[in-house]
Chains A and B, each alone.
Chain A
Amino acid sequence: GAVVSQHPSRVICKSGTSVKIECRSLDFQATTMFWYRQFPKQSLMLMATSNEGSKATYEQGVEKDKFLINHASLTLSTLTVTSAHPEDSSFYICSARDRLSGNTIYFGEGSWLTVV
C-alpha cells in the first residue's frame, strides 16, 4: 500500500515553545490530508482536514491558532503546535487520501508529543 511518513516520531518540548510535525505521502499525491489526535486508550479524534493550497478546515473545539496546519504541496502537510502546554501532550496522527486508489486513506506512524 501507499506510504505516509511522519516526522518526528517522538518529540519533547518545553512549555511555551512551538513544535512542528511533518506528514509526507511518499509515493502518491495527497490533495487532502487529515490530522488526528489520539489520547491514551481512546479513539482518534479528527482535528482538521487540510487541502493542498488552501486553508485547513478545523473541527469544532479545535483551536486553529494553536494548531497551525499548512499543506503547501501535494506530498507535505505540517502541524505546528504553538505555545505548547502539558495538556497538548498526545499522540498525533496524520493521514492522506490517495485519489488514485479510490480515495483510500493511509496513515502515518504517528508522533508522540510530550510537553514538559
Chain B
Amino acid sequence: AQSVSQHNHHVILSEAASLELGCNYSYGGTVNLFWYVQYPGQHLQLLLKYFSGDPLVKGIKGFEAEFIKSKFSFNLRKPSVQWSDTAEYFCAAGTYKYIFGTGTRLKVLA
C-alpha cells in the first residue's frame, strides 16, 4: 500500500540551529515528491518538489531536500532556521494522486 511516513511529529529548535525533517515513502515505481508548509492560520504552500534529475532539490526560503532512492527517503533540510519557520511541514508522494504524511510541527524559539 502507498504510504508516507514522517517520524518527527514535533520538533523544537532554537534560532540558527540546523533542521532535518525525515520523510519516507512506500510507493511502487516512479514517484513525485513534495514538501509543503502550513503556517499558522494559512493554507498549504509548496516548499519544493522532486520529479526527476538532480536528487538534491533547492526550494524556497533556504530549504532543500535530498531524494535517496535506496532509502525511499526525501528528507527536508535547512542549515539555519529562523523564528518565522515555525509551522507545520508535510511531505507528500505520488504520481497520479498524492498521499500526505502526518506532518511535523516545528517550533523555533527566538
On A, residues with C-beta under 8 Å from B are: 1, 32, 34, 36, 42-46, 49, 93, 95, 102-110
Contacts and interface: CB of A to CB of B under 8 A. Distances in A.
Contacts of A45: 100
B36 interface: yes
Given A43-B102, A44-B90, A107 B43 contact: yes
Given A43-B101, A43-B103, A46-B98, A104 B49 contact: yes
Which of B42, B43, B102 has most A Cβ within 10 Å? Answer: B43
Given A105-B34, A107-B44, A43 B98 contact: no
B44 A93 contact: yes
A34 B97 contact: yes
Nearest 7 A-B pairs (CB), nearest first? A107-B44, A109-B43, A43-B102, A44-B100, A43-B103, A43-B100, A49-B97
B98 A105 contact: yes
Contact of B43 (A32, A34, A108): A108
B32 interface: yes
